[in-house]
Amino acid sequence: MNAVGIDVSKGKSKVTVMQPFGVVVSAPHDVAHKAAASATGIYS
């Protein structure tokens, strides 16, 4: 089972994904909030 951590703030979010025993699947990275993406719900 994977655990997803999302820290949401104004303008960007920080996202990471981990598996049991501390295995990092996706290191923490920033995702910018864009007006066009917000309307569709799709973020890059």
Q: In terms of Cα–Cα distance, which of 19, 17, 18, 14 is closest to 43?
A: 14
- Model confidence over 16-41: pLDDT tens digits? 999 999 999 999 999 988 766 555 66
In terms of Cβ atoms closer than 10 Å to its own Cβ (0-12, 13-18, 19+), residue 17 is middle
* pLDDT value at 42 more than 70: no
From residue 40, give the alpha-carbon distance in Å to each of 2, 20, 34, 43, 44.
25, 32, 10, 8, 12
- Token digits of residue 9: 């703030």
| Residue 25: predicted pLDDT | 93
